């Protein structure tokens, strides 16, 4: 059975999709344009209509039509697939979203219902207006109110949603007596949307003083997960990309206050601390994340837990701590935009906060204090991926403790040597990439590399994995199609490697390709034989020293075979 994905990729032309967003011009067999994913002045973004893939030689972003749309629209792979399927009129769309649509539809009708109720209910309107949330903001965020009423069958009919579907959202509940009530009753309701602006759940705030709990959210469901949701991201994503920074606050009213004040590159968690899922979503738009926190110690502590996560994900994390007793909502109401700009000007790197905190806690006056400090900060520096930043922090660590900098190098296994070695092997991997690219373009040449363990000896591990996956893929899909093969590579790094190799391989002269591959294989075999010979020589010396006759005989026999192999090769 052919999958929807295959079907869609067969029907769409990547040129039609990409050219909706990028101005392309033809060069030779490809099209090029300015890359939409990084800033550049000369085009390095390439589209191959032949292979139905794109690749940017500047930022190494690449893939098929679905990958492009997902990346550009900042949506998930399945959402992009759904959009494309719809565009080419594939009926199967229902199969993708059958489970989701009725619930999403119900939530959207509830949103409209709550919104109308709010506009009718003066006390709730007054509550919002008192918080400086005006009509325009209420309309923009589709804020609502849930009445304190008991719902009956007419309600479901009026909304056009079956009662059991409403109950399945977990928002309406049935008491033992059969009475149906709303978990948000008597609350201002805030619709929470996904990346594309579809409502997936609600938050509710009590408007009566001292009502508990103050905030509640929709129950967890297949469409709504508190851990991964970022409130406001649908409205903020463009601005986050433009400003190349995202501000995270902790509550929906904090976010609404920031947006209302014109600070639109902000998103909010639903009162929880920031999770890895949320960070990886944001990383599609920016690597600069600023946490804006209430001035209480608990908030600061939970933010500091993110240092390692940010370091591992290559996120440049900074933090703004508001004056004691203030949250972003109250702060922006009191201090306005100038106050906001002032505190943003004072933001500090997360790790700097951490350093300050520990210096304060342990003191640097005693040896014990210094040791405790080193022990607590080392793990965080170790987790950093950015080598330059890592060096800077090691420098600071050295300054603060008075320990010579070089003494920390071993502890941190400085990344410099590895990169230097990588550069030296550049030429080898260029050829390897060419060879992988050639066999991707001309699957009939795969027979040349099959069964020789070439994939395992490729120095670039990702590239080696691409080849090994291609060899496996070809067993089930003879004459593999690259744009479809890309779908089995889940890791973006692998996809990038594959697309770069495929485009490079396509450039090779048709007459030359077979020779390039066989030259490479021959060169590789020579290298393996030489390595073998060297190893045997070393072991011979050892065996001689030990006086191990049996080992000597065996090794000499192996050496003769290797020498014969070498001679045969040079005779060819």
38 vs 530, which CB is nearer to Zn ion? 38
CB distance 526 to 491 below 8 Å? no
- Between 68 and 331, CB nearer to Zn ion: 68
Q: Which of residues 41-80 bind Zn ion (CB under 5 A)?
A: 56, 58-59
Closest to Zn ion by CB, 56 vs 516, is: 56
Of 72 and 121, which CB lies nearer to Zn ion in the complex structure?
72
Distances (CA, A) of 29 to 23, 51, 441, 506, 507: 17, 10, 14, 9, 9
Interface positions, 313-332, toward Zn ion (CB under 5 A): none
Those residues with Cβ within 8 angstroms of residue 175's Cβ, 6 or more apart along the chain or in another chain? 181
Pairing of strands 215-217, 246-249: unpaired
Please choose, from the candidates 405, 401, 404, 397, the residue with its C-alpha nearest in 3D space to the C-alpha of residue 368: 401
- Count of residues making up the chain: 572
Part in contact with Zn ion (CB under 5 A); list of ranges 32-40, 106-114, 258-266, 486-494: 32-40
Segment 87 to 146, residues that bind Zn ion, using CB under 5 A: none
Phi then psi dihedrals of residue 231, to 5 deg: -70, 130
Minimum CB separation of residue 34 from Zn ion in Å reads 9
Collapsing DSSP states into helix, strand and coil, what is residue 512? coil
Binding residue count for Zn ion, defined by CB under 5 A: 6
Q: Which range binds Zn ion by CB under 5 A, 37-45, 137-145, 355-363, 500-508?
A: 37-45
Smallest gap, in angstroms, from Cβ of residue 60 to Zn ion? 7
- Pick from 14, 32, 35, 513: which binds Zn ion (CB under 5 A)? 35
- In whole angstroms, how close is the CB of 62 to Zn ion at the nearest point? 9
Closest distance to Zn ion from the beta carbon of 484 (Å): 23
- Residue with smaller CB distance to Zn ion, 37 or 412: 37
Is the Cβ of residue 62 or residue 204 nearer to Zn ion in the bound state? Answer: 62
Q: What angle do CA 428, 429, 432 make, to 5 degrees?
A: 95
Q: Which of 388, 325, 311, 314 is nearest to 354 (CA)?
A: 311
Among 29, 38, 491, 569, binds Zn ion (CB under 5 A): 38
3-state secondary structure of 236: helix
Q: Which is nearer to Zn ion, 44 or 221 (CB)?
A: 44
Q: Which is nearer to Zn ion, 64 or 266 (CB)?
A: 64
Asked if residue 472 binds Zn ion (CB under 5 A), the reply is: no
Binding segment for Zn ion (CB under 5 A), chosen from 38-46, 75-83, 96-104, 406-414, is 38-46
Q: Does 37 bind Zn ion (CB under 5 A)?
A: yes
63 three-class SS:
strand
Question: Is there a cis peptide before residue 213, judged by omega within 30 degrees of 0?
Answer: yes
Return the closest-CA partner of residue 265 out of 290, 241, 240: 240
Interacting residues toward Zn ion by CB under 5 A: 35, 37-38, 56, 58-59
């Amino acid at each position: 059975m052919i999958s929807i994905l295959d079907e869609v990729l067969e029907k769409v032309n990547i040129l039609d999709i990409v050219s909706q967003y990028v101005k392309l011009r033809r060069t030779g067999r490809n099209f090029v344009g300015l890359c939409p994913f990084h800033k550049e002045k000369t085009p390095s973004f390439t589209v191959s209509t032949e292979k139905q893939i794109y690749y940017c030689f500047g930022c190494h972003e690449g893939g098929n039509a679905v990958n492009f749309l997902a990346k550009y629209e900042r949506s998930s792979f399945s959402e992009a697939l759904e959009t494309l399927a719809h565009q080419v009129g594939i009926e199967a769309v229902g199969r993708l979203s059958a489970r989701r649509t009725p619930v999403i539809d119900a939530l959207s009708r509830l949103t409209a219902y709550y919104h109308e109720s709010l506009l009718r209910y003066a006390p709730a309107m007054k509550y919002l207006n008192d918080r400086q949330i005006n009509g325009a903001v209420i309309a923009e965020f589709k804020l609502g109110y849930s009445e304190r009423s008991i719902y009956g069958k007419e309600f479901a009919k009026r909304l056009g949603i079956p009662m059991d579907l409403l109950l399945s959202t977990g928002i309406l509940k049935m008491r033992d007596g059969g009475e149906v009530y709303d978990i948000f009753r008597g609350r201002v309701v805030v619709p929470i949307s996904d990346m594309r602006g579809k409502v997936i759940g609600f938050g509710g705030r009590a408007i009566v003083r001292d009502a508990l709990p103050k905030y509640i959210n929709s129950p967890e469901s297949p469409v709504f997960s508190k851990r991964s949701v970022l409130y406001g991201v649908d409205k903020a994503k463009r601005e986050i990309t433009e400003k190349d920074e995202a501000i995270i606050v902790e509550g929906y009213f904090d976010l609404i206050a920031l947006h209302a004040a014109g600070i639109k590159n902000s998103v909010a968690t639903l009162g929880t601390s920031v999770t890895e899922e949320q960070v990886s979503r944001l990383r599609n738009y920016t690597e600069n994340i600023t946490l804006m926190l209430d001035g209480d110690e608990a908030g600061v502590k939970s933010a500091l837990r993110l240092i390692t996560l940010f370091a591992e994900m290559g996120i440049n994390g900074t933090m703004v701590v508001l004056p004691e007793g203030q949250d972003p909502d109250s702060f922006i109401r009191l201090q306005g935009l100038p106050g906001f700009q002032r505190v943003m000007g004072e933001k500090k790197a997360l790790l700097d906060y951490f350093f300050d905190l520990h210096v304060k806690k342990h003191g640097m006056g005693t040896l014990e204090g210094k040791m405790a400090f080193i022990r607590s900060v080392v793990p965080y520096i170790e987790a950093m991926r950015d080598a330059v930043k890592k060096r800077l922090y090691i420098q600071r660590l050295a300054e603060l403790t008075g320990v010579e900098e070089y003494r920390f190098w071993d502890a941190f296994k400085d990344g410099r040597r590895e990169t230097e070695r990588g550069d030296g092997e550049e030429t080898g991997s260029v050829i390897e990439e060419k060879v992988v690219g050639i066999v991707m373009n001309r699957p009939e040449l795969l027979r040349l590399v099959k069964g020789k363990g070439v994939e395992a000896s490729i120095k670039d591990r990702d590239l080696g994995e691409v080849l090994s996956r291609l060899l496996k893929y070809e067993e089930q899909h003879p004459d593999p199609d690259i744009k479809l093969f890309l779908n089995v590579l889940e890791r973006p790094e692998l996809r990038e490697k594959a697309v770069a190799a495929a485009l490079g391989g396509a450039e090779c002269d048709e007459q030359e390709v077979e020779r390039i591959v066989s030259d490479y294989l021959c060169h590789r075999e020579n290298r393996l034989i030489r390595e073998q010979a060297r190893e045997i020589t070393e072991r011979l010396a050892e065996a001689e020293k030990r006086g191990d006759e049996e080992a000597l005989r065996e090794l000499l026999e192996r050496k003769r075979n290797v020498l014969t192999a070498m001679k045969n090769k040079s005779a060819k």
